[in-house]
Structure formats: structure tokens, C-alpha cells
Structure 1
Amino acid sequence: MIITALSNWTPRPGTLVEWHPSRAASDAALAAPVHSAPPSFLQEDHLVAAAAASARGDVHHAYTGVATEIDGALDRDALSRAIAAYVLRHEGLRCWFEVNGTHVVRHLASNAVAEFEPSDAGSFDTDEQLQSYVRARFSAEATAFEWPGFVVGAVDRSDGFTLYYGADHAFTDGGSQALVISELADLYALEIGEDAPVPAAAGSHLEYATAERALAATYGPDAPEIAAWRSIFRNNDGKMPRFPLTLGLEEGERGPVRIVERHLLDADATAALDRACKAAGARISSGVFAAVGIADFELAGRTDYFGITVLSTRHVGDYAQSQGWFVNFAPVAFTVGDADAFSEVAVRAHAGFEASKKIAAVPVHAVLGALAADGTLGSELAVSPNMLSYIDFRWFPGVGRPADTRGEHFTGEGRTSNASMWINRDADHLYLCAQVPDNPVAAESVERYHSHLQSILESVARDGDYAIRVAEVVGG
């Protein structure tokens, strides 16, 4: 599995096939009653924002997608049954939502919606035609305000087929997308009588959302986790983290997204980086943050690293193979400027990252509410932070099987004011994917930054350490 831009997805030509609910399934979904389970906090934010965007007439980009290649002739009926089995496994996928202002209402359909039918949708001659077609499907159909909030399709050829899936972000996160394509492939293999693992039981995202609200209510404004957030923000002038170099935008401005990818280290060099981090008393995840902190210092004079990271919350219940949004956000902070080498910063980054995991015990919305109430955060509540995420894809259930090995994960490409990075490891390499503003200034800044970050990581992998150099002019 690799995270990439949809524009890099280039399956061989064939017949386009779409799956849609049967008329009976569509009728059952439309009649779905209101369910008492609230949306999760992230779902609620997303749904309110998506409803406002729809009211403005904006194109829907708030989806994520994934695709893979399956060997052998496509059995359409078998894939129809696999899709039905997939929907029955994940209660959250039988939901759709209504939004009135900031009030979100959930509808939950019965198992009767698990009936899908294939239909031909023509063919394509160029990669651009296919990508345009799939983007249009995702934008029109992968929406949380009608059912289903996901899209399934295939490119059918005599010797195999491309399977693709996209969902509104309300129903999925990066981990879910890494899980879904292997799960669908396994369910399909079981339907055609091939040997495949039976997917493990999956907990309900509705139960997760309900428990999340109850958990948030247990944290008062003086809870240690909230106090840690407060201290970090006050040490950073009450500001959300920003990319350290100019992105060619005015404060508060957002620009169209361009996906930037970069190979950082091959498998052997990544293993060497891992060993260097352990020798320093850290892990590779902390080492990634250390390298980013050093890049921030050397290129922009930032003596203290402050970032926001994404952490999985699947461990709080039986959610290891569930579909939904199972993440929380937490700050990572540590000092860089008085250190001489990567090994020294790695220890600090490790402590900062471990503290972040503890802080992440409290849902971020409880934190932001407390910090808004005491004035720690004001207008910054409306600012999207520059994010840094690290994922090791080697530990996902489908790893080593063809569907995962051939898998590609792509995301919607809307607008951004950041240059957030997703740094990922798999069996082949360490690489990054970033969503950056599509303008020449941002392109130059991001290339400069990513190139320098790569040189730091290469040096650590090659030499076991890296000597920190004098910082350049701030904002340079």
C-alpha cells in the first residue's frame, strides 16, 4: 500500500463497471429512522463544514479513495456479494446524516440495504479520462448526506480487474482505507472459493462515537492532559503550528491543493535509520520528528519544535479492523536549538512523542473547548494546523498479500493553507506525501524543505548521526 496522488493512478484500460444499491436497498436507506448515536467529534466537524460547502456550491473533495489489482476474470455476482458482506460488517457504513446549522442527525438503515448490483459504464482511452471519471463519481456519490456514502467500481479485463473504492471522509480515515481494499479482496476471494483469511470481527463506529462523548465529559479544564496542551500553546504564543517557510499565501488564505510525493530512503537505509534511532534511545517515529525539528531549525531558525500529530484511537475498543474515523490529535513539542546532533534531539523528540500519546487520551474537542473558554486560543480555533503524521504500513493485516502490495491510497484534493506531511514506512522504503498550495512560491519552499529533510535522514542512515548546523535567517 502506498499513499499517492490520484493523478498517478494508471490502471490498464478495460470496461468500467459500477456497483449501486438495488432499488429495494435504496428505498430501505431512504426510510432509515433517526438513530440516537451522535456523530463522533471529527464527524460532526466534517459534516457541518461539508454541509456549508455544499450550500455554497463548492465541489465536494472531502473523500478518500483506494485501488488495487486483482488477478483472474471478474465475477460480478461474487463481488456484489462481497460488497454486501462488507456493508454488513460495518454498522457505520449503513448511516447517512442530515445537518441543520450545527445540529447533526444520524440515520441508520437496516441490513436490508446490503444488496448491490453491477452495471457497465463504458470504457476509457487515457489515464486522464479514467481519473476524471473516478473523481466525478467520488464527488457526486461519496457524500454523507445520502446513502451510500461510498463508491465501488472496477476496470474489467479478461485477465484480471482493477478494484477501486472511495468514501466520504465522515466514514473513513487513513487506517480504514489501508484496511478496506484488502478486506474487499478477501471477501471476494472467499465468494469465489479461493483461500483467504476471514476478516476479524469489527467494532461499531457508532459505539465508538457514543463512548467518545462520554469520555470527553470526564475531563475538566484542569485535567493534566488539558494542562499540557495549555502549556504548549502558551509557549508558542497561542498559535497553531505553521509550515516554517513561506507558501505564497496571505494569512488565512487557502489555495488549491497539489499532492507532492518524495522517496526518502530505501529499505536498507530505513533499517539503518531505525538502528540509529534505537542507539540514541528513541524509535524511528521519534526520529522522524527529530529530523523535522532539525529542518525547521536549520531552515527557519525555529529553536523549539511544535507540531500537531495524528494518533490512532483504535486501541480503545474492538476497532482494529473497523471502518470509521478512529483518530485523535495531540501536540508534539521539544527543544532543538541548543543541541549539537540528531542523536541528542532524537531523545528529546522521543520524550515529546511519548508525552503526546498520553495527552491524546482526552478527545481533542474537549481540549479545544477548555482552551477557548480560558482564552488560551481565540481566533486560532479556526486555523487548520500544519500536521505531521508517521505510519508504519508493515503492521496492517493485509500486508504481504497481493491486494495490499498493489494498493494505492489517494485523497481528495481541495484547498489548503498548509504543507502537512504524511511520512510512511513500508517494506520497500520510507517516503512522504504532502498536500501543498499549488503556486510557484509554495513549490519552491516545499522542494527546498523536503530536500533538506531527506539529506538529514540520509546522513543519519549513512553515518549514524547528523551534526546540526547554524540556523539560517528566520523564514528563509
Structure 2
Amino acid sequence: MPVTDLRPLHDWSGPPGVLTLWCPSAASMESAKRAPVSPVLPSYEQEQHLHAFRACEQRHEAMARLLVVVWEEGGRCDLRALTHVVTAHVRRHDTYHSWFEERAGAIVRHVLEDPAGIQMEPLMLGDVNAADWQKHVMATPAPFAWDCFRFGILQRVSGFTCFASIDHLHGDATLIAFLMTEIRSAYRAVIDGEKPHHLGPPGSYLYYCTNQRRRAAATTLADHEVKRWIAFLQRNNGRMPAFALPLGLLEDRYHAEYVHVDILDDAVMDAFESACHASGARVIGGLLACAALTERELAGRSRYTVVTPTTTRRSPKAFRTTGWCVGVVPIDFDVQQRTFPELALTAQSNFDERLSLADVPIELVLELAAELPTVGSVATGGVMLSYMDVNVPPLSARIAREWHEANGRVYINQGIAAQVAIWLFRTQRGLSLTAAYPANETARASMHRYVAAFAGACRRAADALMPTYSDVGRER
């Protein structure tokens, strides 16, 4: 069964092929070096990412920073056509037109003056196996380099694997499938003379950054959303939420390990969604409820607390904008002895009521709260639970179908894991879970216990609306 969800990069094990990489031309690199400083500050997402990268670099640690989108195409790749397509893609999205440097402790942005002058060029590297391919992907330049993005193919007799490796600085999970569709559609239009899908013009990520900073400048401790963020942190002893189970010594945190599990197949996932709707919730509410039930079962916790990322895009044009547009929603609610339907409704209400807090970057909250003794100063760490459904807008059923037909999948490179990150992906194949955690025996045992219990909670919720599921399992 093809993989259609999130996996660590070292899991990729495709057959050997002839590798071609697309990188900016030497002339484009020279133009980038001459790009003037821009008054547009980095977004909070970009700034935090760049500071985190520099901290990892100083400690000689790896950083999980790459989004690697992979899909399959038939036939022999027309290198000239794909050169035109990836060049147009980089010119089209203005996040690629910036690069950053540190000056006196601050991060400043440079912006290329003439994006139409950017030219991507193919570099043919010959036959490679899976391990070689992974090394080339890992060599994607770091985020302080302008060209921290690569596109490429692995050509074989029967077809080719197409991929994009982009530093997180320039993208987020919302755009993964859309990026594939944009490049795929444009490539087919060039080689077949077909009319490309009308994707519409993208928005400007520079505008997003400007608008975010403008709103931040007007935000104070007196704002309602900031007060709610601070109250959330104070309920967690001034910190981000901690994982419910032991993770081992802090000295063991520097390397990430991953576990991947297919939680529910498509039919059972439909039953789970029906159970959520019957409770007055959506899938995100149901998944948060299952996580709360898991912590109650394994750790006896009577209150569930986590942060969950969500896009901060608010318009169709924004959803066509490549860039990092993500905030986090703080979640916490009492669990006690409540049932799944009760918890799903509570979790959904909690998520909906706090959704606006995602528009207030946690880094900004910590800046404003720097003088408060009850709030810590670090936004990293903690536990995150992320849910993404590629079947619903803004990705749409058509994009989800293309993603499925092209065996689309996304990989992340291995890095550090101070705490726990849990990604839940829903595709046409069902629901999968990928988790990153510190690579030590204590955290490994805890994470495997957690994943098994979480999967069980999801299946029990689905069973309530799909009574034959357990019977079928017993018959097998």
C-alpha cells in the first residue's frame, strides 16, 4: 500500500534512479547576494525558526527543518519543461524572494529586486539509491541561505519520482498537497498542451508578514487574547504543556525518534467522524477527546492540556500563498469521568472558542509577559497534537484525489525532540499517526504505550457508530 501521510525521511526506500536536481543559476545567486535590505520583518514563525536553527547549529545538533513532498509521474521527464515549471513556481511565490541575515542580534530580510530574473537550472547527478537520495535532500541549504529549496526527480524506466525539498522557513503543512498540484498541473500543461487547472493568483507572504507585525505592534497585555494565553500558561506553571508520560533524562533529548501507525482505515474513520458529529463535534474535537481519555487511562490525569497548530490563512488567495502561516491554539479542559461524547463536545467548544488565539503568536505573548514572574520565557518544548485532513477545503476533493492517485507523501528530516510532537493525517486511506519523541528507552516505551492506547480510544469511539467492526475483527 502506498504511503500517503507523514513519515521521517529515512523511511523513504524507493528503487534506484537517475537523480536530477534543480537549483538557482549562478547568475540568480549573484543577484540574490546584491538584494537590498527590506523594511519587512520576518514573520514570527520565520524568526523563531531562524533563532532555533542558530541555537541548534551552536550546539552541533541537527534540526528537523525540511518539508519534503514526493509524488510519482509516468513516462520520461521532459527536463526542459520541468525547468520552466519550477522556475515559474519560484518566481510566482514571493516567500522565495527573501533571504535573511543577523545584524546586531536582530534578523533582517533581503528581497530580490527582480524576481523575473530568477532561473532554476537542472543538475544531473546520475544513478542514486535511496540512501544517496536522502543525503542529497539533507544537503538542501540551511535557512540563512537564500536557496534553501530544491526540486528534483528520480528517473526510472517505468516513470519518475518528483520531489520538492523546502526549508520550513518557506512553507507549512497546509500547502503540501497544493504545491504538488501546482507543479504537476503546470508540467502537464507544458508537455501535453493542456489547459492548466485555474489555481488563481497567490497572495503575498510579504504582506502576511507586514500585517502580522502591524497587528503585533498594536497588541498589549490588556488585550483579551493575550490575557487568555497568559491564563493558559499560568495553569501550566508558566510553561507550555508537558507530555503525560516519562520522557527520560533531558540529556537524551537531542535526537528524535519516530513511530508511525495506521490508526483507522477509511471505513472506520467514517464511523469515527459520525461519532464526533453525533456528539456535536468535528473530527478535531473527537481526536482531542481521545487524547484526553488516553492520558486519563495511562497517567490518571483529570485535566487535558495541549497546543494544536492551525493555519492563520483567512482567504482563498491566502490558501494559494506559499509561506509559513501557522499559529497554535491552547487547549485545556477537565476530563474527570466523562465519556467520549461529553469530552468530544467539550474539546470542540474549547477549540472553537480559542481559535482566535492562534492569530497571536506565542512568541509575542512571551515578549509581552517578560516581566511577569508567573510566566516562563521559552516557547519551545511541550506537547503538540496536529490534525490535517487532505480531503476537505482548502485542499478540496480534487486535490486530495490527485494526491492519492500520484501516491503523494511528505517526509521530514530527523532532528532534535525536546518533548513530543504528534501528527494525525487523514487521507482517502484513513487516519494515520506519526509521533516524534526523544530517542531514549524511557521515551520510547512511553510513546508506544501512548500510541496503542490512543488508537484504542479512537477505535472504541468508532465502534459506537459501527457495531459490526468488532464482530468482523473477531471473525478474522
TM over 0.5: yes
Cα distance, 1:30 vs structure 2 = 1.7
Q: Is the CA contact 1:308–1:330 (under 8 Å) kept in the aligned structure 2?
A: yes
Which residue does the alignment assign to 1:474?
Answer: none
Paired with 1:410 and 1:89, the residues of 2 have a C-alpha distance of: 24
Q: Structure 1 162/241 Cα, relative in aligned 2: closer, same or farther at 3 Å?
A: same
- Residues 208-233 of structure 1: per-residue CA shift (max 9 Å, x gap): 01100111223221222122122222
Q: Which residue of 2 is the match for residue 103 of structure 1? A: 106
SS of alignment partner, residue 68 of structure 2: strand
Instruction: Give, in whole Å, the separation in 1 of the partners of 2:24 and 2:342.
Output: 56
Deviation track 1:151-201 (CA, whole Å, cap 9, x = no partner) reads 111111243211111111111111123322222111211221245413321
Residue 91 of structure 1: how far off its partner (Å): 0.6
Shift in CA distance, 98/113, structure 1 to aligned 2, threshold 3 Å? farther
Q: Is the 8 A contact 2:256 2:416 kept in 1?
A: yes
Q: Does 1:364 align with 2:365?
A: no
Determine helix, strand or coil for the equivalent of 1:230. helix
Q: What is the Cα deviation at residue 60 of structure 1? A: 5.5
Distance across 2 between alignment mates of 1:336 and 1:263: 26
Cα shift at 1:405: 4.3
Q: CA deviation at 1:16?
A: 0.9
Asked if the contact 2:62–2:416 (Cα under 8 Å) also holds between the matched residues in 1, the reply is no
Q: How many residues align?
A: 458
Contact 2:362 2:379 in 1 (8 A): no
Partner of 2:311: 312
Number of the residue aligned with 2:84? 81
- Tell me if 1:457 matches 2:458: yes
CA distance in 2, matches of 1:239, 1:57: 26
Q: Which residue of 2 aligns with 1:219?
A: 219
Deviations 1:293-351 (A, max 9, x none): 11111111110111111010111683111111000112011110142x11111111111
Deviations 1:1-46 (A, max 9, x none): 4211212222232211111222222221221111111100111111
Counterpart-to-counterpart distance in 1, 2:389 and 2:403 = 18
Instruction: Work out whether 1:388 is the aligned partner of 2:385.
Output: yes
Contact 1:249 1:417 in 2 (8 A): no
Contact 2:70 2:164 in 1 (8 A): yes
Equivalent position of 1:32 in the other structure: 35
Q: Quick one: distance in 2 between partners of 1:178 and 1:148?
A: 22
Please say which of residues 83-92 and 15-24 is displaced more in the overlay. Answer: 15-24
1:471 aligns with none
Distance 1:413 1:208 in 2: 29
Partner of 1:349: 347
Describe the shift of the 1:321–1:7 C-alpha distance in structure 2 as closer, same or farther (beyond 3 A): same
Q: CA deviation at 1:371?
A: 2.9
Paired letter, 1:123:
D
SS of the residue corresponding to residue 315 of structure 1 reads coil
SS at structure 1 position matched to 2:411:
strand
Aligned to 1:230: 230
Name the aligned partner's letter for residue 145 of structure 1.
Answer: F
- Could you tell me how far 1:132 is from its partner in structure 2? 3.0
2:253 aligned residue: 254
Q: CA deviation at 1:81?
A: 0.3
Residue identity matched to 1:371 = A
Q: Which residue of 1 aligns with 2:441?
A: 440
Question: RMSD over aligned Cα, in angstroms?
Answer: 2.1
Match of 2:209 in 1: 209
1: CA distance between counterparts of 2:137 and 2:211? 35
- The structure-2 alpha-carbon separation of the partners of 1:61 and 1:113, relative to structure 1 and needing over 3 Å to count, comes to farther
Task: Assess, with a 3 A threshold, how the Cα gap between structure 1 residues 158 and 464 changes in structure 2: closer, same or farther.
Answer: closer
Q: Closer, same or farther in 2 for the Cα pair 1:247/1:167, shift >3 Å?
A: same
Report the CA distance shift for 1:402/1:176 in structure 2 as closer, same or farther (over 3 A).
Answer: closer
State the secondary structure of the residue aligned to 2:110.
strand
SS at match of 1:377: coil
Report the 3-state secondary structure (helix = DSSP H, G, I; strand = E; otherwise coil) of the residue aligned with 2:22. Answer: strand
1:473 is matched with which residue? none
Segments of 5+ residues of structure 2 without an aligned counterpart are 468-476
**Cα drift, residue 253 of structure 1:** 5.6
Query: Does the CA contact (< 8 Å) of 2:45 and 2:325 recur in 1?
Result: no
Cα separation, 1, equivalents of 2:329 and 2:96 = 27
Q: Distance in 2 between matches of 1:97 and 1:358?
A: 29
Q: For the residues of structure 2 that align with 1:245 and 1:76, how far apart are their CA atoms?
A: 50
Counterpart code for 2:283: I
**What secondary structure, in the 3-state scheme, does the structure 1 residue paired with 2:400 have?**
coil
Contact 2:384 2:422 in 1 (8 A): yes
AA matched with 2:290: A
Alignment correspondent of 1:116: 120
Residue 404 (structure 1) shift:
6.6
CA contact (8 A) 1:97 1:105 kept: yes
CA–CA distance in structure 1, aligned partners of residues 252 and 267 of structure 2: 41
- 2:291 match: 292
CA distance in 1, matches of 2:41, 2:158: 45
1:119, distance to aligned residue in structure 2 (A): 2.2
Percent identity, please: 31
TM-score w.r.t. length of structure 1: 0.91
What does residue range 147-186 of structure 1 map to in structure 2 within 5 Å? 147-186=146-185
**Counterparts of 2:134 and 2:376 in 1: how far apart (Å)?**
41
